[in-house]
């Protein structure tokens, strides 16, 4: 059995990595994205230390933000804010910290967003903490997985089986799934639950962290749909039914609760990449941080759903409309470092 374990996100953190590198691609939204990003950084720092990666040309700007003593500014060749995917996954090997390099290739280097030099930070981040790094035998990224810390992973075919990531893992879908399952076993994963995902999602090819959140062992929240007669609605309902029929790596039948998304009439943006995801949330030490999207009933329902499953944590909902217009949420901005069992 592998000695590497990817902890659940609700386990204690020693820190959270984030980035102060709003790329020029944001155009006229740049100032609003910076403002929202600053609020997310400050909110995370209220609950755990933040290690903020900053490109050299923005160091003075970052220092002027007045983040406070719980935010450490670290110079780094970073040029994007999506640390969930760009950074390695921090894991434990025999109780000691290590990193998993998923060979991130810029979400398959899609037409929407090509690969950049700042995407290959896994080795640098391992070296910065003086910890060992393990290279995965597949191409993936952190947002492609939801995990319970006990050997269960939920992922999507649309992402991991995408030829832009893993083109040579077998001739059939079954062969590919089996090969990737064997590859993940190196990291203590004993059960992979495959969902179809969304192959039409323009950037990530359908990351699971946009609509599935493990909340405890054997328990998950899943984003539902309003229009079940639509193609997307039928696909999501099939996935919900699939999850309700699954057992985790320890043999427990999954308990699945549904959280409805904000309704379109309340949304500030309607572009294809806009991702108003309540479940793209960061589980910090003592808090759960997610987006608020202006639908009074759905915002409140999502708040209550998160508070019910995390009763000892404070649920904080932040306005991140401009960040979400780029295809991600609070979870996408953050990368937790678990507490090591041994120093």
- Where b means 16+ CB within 10 Å and e means fewer, 291-316 reads bbbbbeebbeebbebbeebbeebebb
- For residues 242-253, give the mean pLDDT: 95
Is the confidence at residue 190, as pLDDT, over 60? yes
Structural domains of the chain ordered from first start = 4-338 (3.75.10.10)
* Whole-model pTM over 0.85: yes
State residue 1's pLDDT score: 43
How does residue 127 score in pLDDT terms, banded at 50, 70 and 90? confident
Dihedral sign for Cα 229, 234, 237, 238, please: positive
How wide is the angle at C-alpha 291 spanned by C-alphas 271 and 230, nearest 5°? 45
Q: What beta strand segments (E) does 102-207 contain?
A: 133-135, 146-147, 152-156, 191-195
Computed over every residue of the chain, the mean pLDDT equals 92
- For residues 306-331, give the mean pLDDT: 97
- For residues 270-283, give the mean pLDDT: 92
Is the confidence at residue 339, as pLDDT, over 80? yes
Strand 146-147 and strand 152-156: pairing? Answer: antiparallel
């Amino acid at each position: 059995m592998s000695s590497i374990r990817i902890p659940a996100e609700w386990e204690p953190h020693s820190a959270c990595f984030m980035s102060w590198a709003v790329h020029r691609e944001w155009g006229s939204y740049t100032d609003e994205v910076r403002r929202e990003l600053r609020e997310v950084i400050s909110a995370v720092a209220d609950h755990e230390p933040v290690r903020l990666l900053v490109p050299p040309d923005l160091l003075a700007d970052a220092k002027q933000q007045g983040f406070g003593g719980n935010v450490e500014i670290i110079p780094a060749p970073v040029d994007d804010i999506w640390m969930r995917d760009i950074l390695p996954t921090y894991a434990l090997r025999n109780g000691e910290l290590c990193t998993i390099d998923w060979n991130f290739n810029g979400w398959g280097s899609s037409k929407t967003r090509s690969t950049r030099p700042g995407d290959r930070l896994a080795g640098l981040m391992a070296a910065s903490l003086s910890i060992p790094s393990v290279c995965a035998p597949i191409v993936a990224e952190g947002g492609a997985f939801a995990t319970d810390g006990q050997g269960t992973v939920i992922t999507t075919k649309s992402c991991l089986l995408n030829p832009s990531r893993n083109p040579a893992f077998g001739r059939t879908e079954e062969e590919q799934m089996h090969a990737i399952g064997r590859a993940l076993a190196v990291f203590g994963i004993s059960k992979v639950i495959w969902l179809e995902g969304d192959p039409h999602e323009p950037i990530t090819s359908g990351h699971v962290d946009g609509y599935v959140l493990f909340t405890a062992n054997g328990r998950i929240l899943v984003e539902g749909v309003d229009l079940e007669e639509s193609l997307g609605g039928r696909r999501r309902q099939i996935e919900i039914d699939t999850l309700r029929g699954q057992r985790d790596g320890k043999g427990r039948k999954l308990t699945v609760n549904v959280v409805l998304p904000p309704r379109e009439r309340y949304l500030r943006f309607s572009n294809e990449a806009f991702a108003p995801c309540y479940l793209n949330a960061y589980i910090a030490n003592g808090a759960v941080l997610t987006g608020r999207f202006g639908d009074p009933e759905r915002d409140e329902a999502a708040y209550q759903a998160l508070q019910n499953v995390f009763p000892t944590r404070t649920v904080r909902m932040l306005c991140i409309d401009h960040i979400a217009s780029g295809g991600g949420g609070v979870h996408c901005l953050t990368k937790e470092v678990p507490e090591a069992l041994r120093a």
